[in-house]
Amino acid sequence: MQKLLLNILENYKLAKLNDLTDHELAIYVRKKSVDILAHAISVDIERYKLKGSVGQGQWADVPWIAVFDKSITQSATEGYYIVYLFRADMSGVYLSLNQGWTYFKDKYKTKLGREKITQVSNAWKDELSSALNDFSYEKIDLKNGGKINSFVEGYELGHICGKFYSVENMPSSEELGLDLQNLIGVYREVKGKLKQSSVEKTNDYLIVNSNMGLLDVEETEDDSYGIESSIENYNESKLKLNPVPIFFIAKEQKPRSFTPKKIDFISKAKNQKKLGYAGELIVLKYEKDLLEKEGKPNLARKIKHISQEEGDGAGYDILSFDLHGNEKYIEVKTTRLNSETQFHLTDNELEFSKKEASNYYLYRVYDFDIQENKAKFYILHGDLTNIISLKPQNYIVEGLLRSK
């Protein structure tokens, strides 16, 4: 293995001066390197696919040799894989647990894709921290001399963990082989943590939980399947405005019981927070679409997701505008069940609705279908204490009553 890596590092620059077609080094990387690697660590070819690349049509700035778990991906364009990435200046090579940049670029476009792939990389570093004793999760530098190259940038952003080997201080073949086997062990751990064996669902989960600060919470089984996808694809969501119900009293979900029971409050809070976030996003889209449809693109651009940009203490979730440019303070309440389902309000939200009654709107989102990414809603306008029926849930103890 040492000879393999050094052969590429020491001869690639010179090879690039010649035509790529049928070049000896190109054939060596594409074919011979795969055989050498497979033999060195006894790769299970039924489970893993090995591939070497020096580019297509012209020499790549960064050649690579990759190991793909076939059940995760068979391409460097998507999913997670192990790869040797040779620096463009041939000063060394990285052994990297990486991920496909093309997937993020195609799904989110380049600018947002950079943000998303970085979130996933960072999330995996947290998820795998106990397994990374032998590897670094510092950023990698492929020394491309400032040259614009989307693929090289993608390799750098997609790096999760690995090791760097300098051309001047290349470890022995035995040590290189051991490192690769250890990283394959980490790769197996990644596979074991995939959500429903799906790279896309896993990426959605990691991105959403990263956005919401939930990655430090121990994972439990919950009923939140699908919400991550709804959040990540909210631009495809559909929201239908319905009339405000004339009158209803929400049914008690269950008779009150004082029987002790164990409740997974962490899981419950996570689900509620995700569902609330999903509801806010589809309302955000609805408001922007409405203003743009009515010929008010300047107002649409001024809409703000207050709960995400400034925090939860403002008393409302979204700052929007009516067609005359007046501000709308929108609080969003979301449930999966019908319009008569109970929902919670904070004292802060109620007080804000009193203070800003003329500009306050509660968007009651219900029948949220996370599979179809659609929901219904109605709007309440004004001081909520004059509109809704409230039931106290918690109390603040301000002191003690005088004893007799």
pLDDT, one tens digit per residue, over 70-121 is: 999 999 999 999 999 999 999 999 999 999 999 999 999 999 999 999 999 9
| Structure tokens that stand for 387 in this block | 């509109």
Distance from CA of residue 69 to its chain's centroid?
22
Specify the long-range contacts of residues 141-145, CB closer than 8 Å, at least 24 apart: 141/87, 142/61, 142/62, 142/85, 142/87, 142/88, 142/94, 143/87, 143/88, 143/89, 143/91, 144/61, 144/62, 144/88, 145/88, 145/89
Distance CA(88)–CA(63), nearest Å, equals: 8
Mean per-residue pLDDT, 200-210: 85
**Which residues, in sequence order, are CB contacts of 188 under 8 Å at separation 6+?**
69
Q: Which two tokens stand for residue 89?
A: 């200046």
Q: What is the pLDDT of residue 249?
A: 63
248 pLDDT tier (thresholds 50, 70, 90): low
User: Do residues 82 and 146 make contact, with C-beta atoms less than 8 angstroms apart?
Assistant: no
Beta strands in 264-395 (DSSP E): 318-321, 327-334, 360-369, 374-381
Kindly tell me if the per-residue pLDDT of 263 is higher than 60.
no
- pTM equals 0.62
User: By C-alpha distance, which of 162, 170, 153, 105 is closest to 132?
Assistant: 162
How many angstroms separate the CA atoms of 176 and 173, rounded? 5
Under 8 Å CB-to-CB from 323, ≥6 apart: which residues?
Answer: 291, 294, 296
Phi-psi region of 230 (alpha: psi -120 to 50; beta: other; left: phi over 0): alpha
CATH topology for the 2-201 domain: Metal Transport, Frataxin; Chain A (3.30.920)
pLDDT in tens, 311-356: 778 899 999 999 999 999 999 999 888 888 888 888 889 999 999 9
- Domain ranges within the chain, ordered by starting residue: 2-201, 225-386
- Return the residue matching tokens 């290349």: 170
Crossing angle of helices 265-293 and 199-211, rounded to 10° = 90
**25 confidence band (pLDDT: 50, 70, 90):** very high
Provide the pLDDT for residue 125: 86
How confident is the model at residue 252, as a pLDDT? 55
Q: What are phi and psi of 355, to 5 degrees?
A: -65, -40
